[in-house]
């Protein structure tokens, strides 16, 4: 999982797009989810038997922030595959469950506060 997270900041647009697509699919299928106290758990099922169990340090809110920052980042504008993936993912993710809507609300408040601070810095 850390590999996918680190690929989000790669300069190669193809690597970025593949990482975004992978994270989006994992988040939509609830293989990556937010738990307040514990870490991420990703389970790979093989014929009904748990074959692999990995624990991750990255909370889904951090991943969601990264995906939204990539979507609104001017530098990723030429990366059409990334933009198309996130254009589909963000509304579907929000409409798929109440938990996802709450997570998006938290992320929105973070970005709103960040924009407020950025605006104040620019005014000075």
Residues 99 and 61 sit within 8 Å (Cβ to Cβ): no
Give pLDDT, residue 81: 97
What is the structure's pLDDT at 6? 87
CA angle, residues 96, 86, 51, in degrees to nearest 5: 65
* 52 vs 72, more confident: 72
pTM: predicted TM-score of the whole model, two decimal places: 0.73
pLDDT at 57 over 60: no
35 pLDDT tier (thresholds 50, 70, 90):
low
* Residue pLDDT, tens place only, 66-102: 999 899 888 999 999 999 999 999 999 999 988 888 8
Q: State the chain's mean pLDDT as an integer.
A: 79
Q: Which residues have a Cβ under 8 Å from the Cβ of 27 and sit 6 or more positions away?
A: 33, 60, 63, 64, 89, 93
The rounded percent of the chain whose pLDDT value lies above 90 is 32
């Amino acid at each position: 999982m850390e590999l996918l997270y680190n690929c989000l900041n790669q300069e190669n647009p193809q690597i970025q797009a593949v990482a975004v697509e992978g994270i989006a699919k994992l988040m939509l299928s609830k293989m990556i989810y937010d738990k307040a106290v514990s870490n991420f758990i990703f389970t790979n099922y093989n014929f009904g038997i748990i074959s692999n169990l990995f624990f991750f340090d990255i909370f889904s809110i951090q991943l969601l922030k990264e995906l939204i920052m990539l979507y609104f980042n001017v530098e990723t504008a030429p990366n059409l595959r990334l933009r198309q993936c996130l254009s589909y993912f963000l509304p579907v993710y929000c409409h798929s469950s109440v938990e996802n809507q709450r997570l998006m609300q938290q992320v929105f408040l973070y970005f709103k506060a960040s924009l407020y601070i950025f605006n104040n810095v620019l005014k000075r």
